Structure 1
Amino acid sequence: VRDRLTAPLQLATINYLLSRDESALSGLLRLRRGQVSAVVSERYAPFDVEQLVDTVRLALAHHGALGEVRVRAVATGMTDVLRLTFPSEAVAVKPGDISHVGLDISSSSFGRSAVHIRSMIWRLVCTNGLRMPEKSGSFSFRHVGESERLSDGIQEAIPAALAHARGTMGRWRRAVTVMVDRVAELVDDMRELTGVERGRVRDELRLAHGAAELLERTDAYNLVNALTAAAHDAEPARRLELETFAGRVLRQQVGA
């Protein structure tokens, strides 16, 4: 309902459904820019973007990382996303090719969304991002119960997610030495991508090798970078999906 109807129609639909239920239910209207964005239950724990930023700041200060962090990107809307990196943990994967460990932190104060914290790698030369898909490197907290529970969870999750990001950096460095064969077939089989996105990956691989034709052998580092480069032209939500897919490919090619 939330994704398909305008706010007034959403509200009318929910009111109709509630009126058909014999039990008396209380609800909460969530507003954004003067519009109804969601109808939530009394168990819902509000946690707006201002609270999120304050909580992240406190957590970074507590762990001595506030002076090291840099905000690389912000996206706002139904979901708010912060991309943070830590230049103090820079690694030269190749000469002059620097990457930082980082975190993606997202939250929505509407509907059934949650606070998500995910480890990532930020490649400085092209501002490509690489997100980890595995559960061990991401943490989620539903908007249920008390807001203090969300705050406590975020403060505990940030150092753990950073530790996983450092592990990902190790895989990222190993990707330079891992060779991938039958590249054209591999890209063609990436059904997670659209035809346009697969074309962009091929273009990036040709550019990486300075070749007019797509080579049948490359290293995992070039392959994953081509995937993250394809995410640049996408809108924010799709970009995060593509960067997560790139993280999955890194893990498949390099291993744990």
Structure 2
Amino acid sequence: MKTDMTVEQLVSKVNDLSLIKRDYCVDANNLVVHSDCMGSKLCIGDSSYIMQENAKKQLASLCNIPYSYINRIEGRYPELVDINYNTALQDIRSTRLIRTIGQHARAVLSDKYRRFENEDVLKTLLPMLENYKGLSVVSSSLTDAKMYLKIVSAKEEAEVRVGDVIQFGALITNSEVGMGGIAITPFCLRLVCTNGMTLPKYNKSVRHIHLGKRFSTIEEYEASTVDENDLFSRVSISLLSALDPLYYMKVIEKMKLAAEIRVVDYQDSIDKVAKHFGLDEEERLRIIHHYLAEHDTTLYGLVNAVTRSAQDSLTYVRATELEKIGSDILYEGVKAANRGDESEVFGLLS
């Protein structure tokens, strides 16, 4: 399982960034974009901020301009970027929330956006871990778009095979820039090789969108606060659901079934997996490597090869995506086997 930083490093970074965040409540037709060969800046009054990719995508969407077009011309024709953005902005009659951090514009959001700051989520979550079934953070990361924490319980575990222990917990994510609200997704960790796997298809993620009462001034926006008791209650309920033995033993049963499903042609199966999930060639080769190294010719072995390959990913985000792909293969493969048509999914045969 890939990790970018310890939870202590995460807390320190989140707290440091909280000191340089600033938000603006602005009429869209008062926004101006100024671009050069180095990129685009969003101008708000006398201040200008270099736009991060997320802000560019949101501004392009607001202006009804394809982002692929903006991305293609930005470095070569900056003046054309400005004409497109600034002409469109003049016709937009709405208030937007502009979120900045340091010298960067990180988000262009609705005037109904409800904020959940990363520091508030950590303030709610971390004290909770000390009181909940031996929970601990085993992996974490912070990107421009999201904060990630993967937690497991040393007390909530079960065996697939003798000595093959799986611990259960949750993946918790939060975005301050409109890329999804607080989401809690069941998660498990295979101890023998520290492979992680998110389990969204087995139990619905609990998501709290960042949408609230419309505001017209930055003062109204900043006066809105998160109900800490409500947040604590919702997170608690979600964690307890993910750690319910009645739930996670169903996952263990599927893993045991997968351990009985034989892969007839591993190369063909992995090729089909790569095509179905859009894996690149390097990822496909890594999965083959880990599959052969595991000496497990079952669907369970294939799933573990995929989740093990996640540890080799260049980014934490891609590693997390591969952990979900491993879960999807497990879910769909066992489902096909139960229907008796496993040979039609990833080249498998029981």
State how far apart, in whole Å, the 1-side matches of 2:234 and 2:111 are.
21
State how far apart, in whole Å, the 2-side matches of 1:70 and 1:57 are.
9
Structure 1 residues 85, 227: CA separation in 2 closer, same or farther (over 3 Å shift)?
same
CA deviation map 1:177-203 (0-9, x unaligned): 232323221111121221111111111
Q: Per-residue deviation at 1:34?
A: 4.4
| Alignment partners' CA distance in 2, 1:88 and 1:252 | 28
Q: Does 1:31 align with 2:95?
A: no
Distance 1:18 1:59, change over 3 A: farther
Aligned partner of 2:288 among 190, 193, 202: 202
CA distance in 1 between counterparts of 2:156 and 2:237 reads 20
Q: CA deviation at 1:254?
A: 2.2
Name the larger-Rg structure.
Answer: 2
The 8 Å contact of residues 202 and 251 in structure 2, kept in 1 or not, is answered as no
Give 2:134's aligned amino acid. E
1:172 Cα deviation after fit:
2.3
1:167/1:49 CA distance change after superposition, 3 Å: farther
Contact 2:169 2:239 in 1 (8 A): no
* TM superposition score normalised by structure 1: 0.81
- What does 1:176-195 align with in structure 2 at a 5 Å threshold? 176-190=259-273, 191=275, 192=277, 193-195=279-281
- Hey, what's the Cα distance between the residues in 2 that align with 1:33 and 1:93? 48
* Structure 2 Cα separation of the partners of residues 167 and 5 of structure 1: 50
TM-score by length of 2: 0.61
Deviates more, 1:154-163 or 1:38-47: 154-163
Asked if the contact 1:231–1:242 (Cα under 8 Å) also holds between the matched residues in 2, the reply is yes
Letter in 2 for 1:168: V
Structure 2: unaligned runs, 5 residues or longer:
1-38, 42-48, 63-84, 214-225, 339-350
The range that moved more, 32-41 or 238-247, is 32-41
For residue 33 of structure 1, report the CA deviation from its aligned partner. 4.0
* Structure 1 residues 83 and 33: CA distance shift in structure 2, 3 A: farther
Greater CA drift, 84-93 or 240-249: 84-93
Distance 1:159 1:173 in 2: 24
Residue matched to 1:252: 332
Describe the shift of the 1:81–1:112 C-alpha distance in structure 2 as closer, same or farther (beyond 3 A).
Answer: closer
Secondary structure at the residue paired with 2:138?
strand
Matches of 1:169 and 1:32, distance apart in 2: 43
Equivalent position of 1:232 in the other structure: 311
Secondary structure at 1:189's aligned position in 2? helix
Question: Alignment identity in percent?
Answer: 24
Match runs of 1:4-43 below 5 Å: 8-9=50-51, 10=55, 16=86, 17-21=88-92, 23=93, 25-43=94-112
Structure 2 CA distance for aligned equivalents of residues 91 and 186 of structure 1: 28
In 1, Cα distance between equivalents of 2:102 and 2:163: 45
Q: Is the Cα–Cα contact under 8 Å of residues 55 and 155 in structure 1 kept in the other structure?
A: no
The Cα shift of 1:173 comes to 3.4
1:58-73 to structure 2, matched below 5 A, reads: 65=132, 68-73=134-139
Rounded to whole Å, the distance in 1 between the matches of 2:248 and 2:121 is 21
Moved more, 139-148 or 70-79: 139-148
CA RMSD after TM alignment: 2.8
Give the CA deviation at 1:26. 2.8
Q: Does 1:148 align with 2:234?
A: no
Task: Tell me, yes or no, if the aligned pair for 1:121 and 1:168 is still in contact at 8 Å.
Answer: no
Q: Deviation of residue 239 (structure 1)?
A: 0.8
2:117 to 41, 48, 63: 48
Q: More displaced, 169-178 or 80-89?
A: 169-178
Q: Note the C-alpha offset of 1:162.
A: 2.9
Secondary structure, in 3 states, of the residue corresponding to 2:113? Answer: coil
Partner of 2:312: helix, strand, or coil? Answer: coil
Cα drift, residue 148 of structure 1: 3.4
Match of 2:116, SS state, is coil
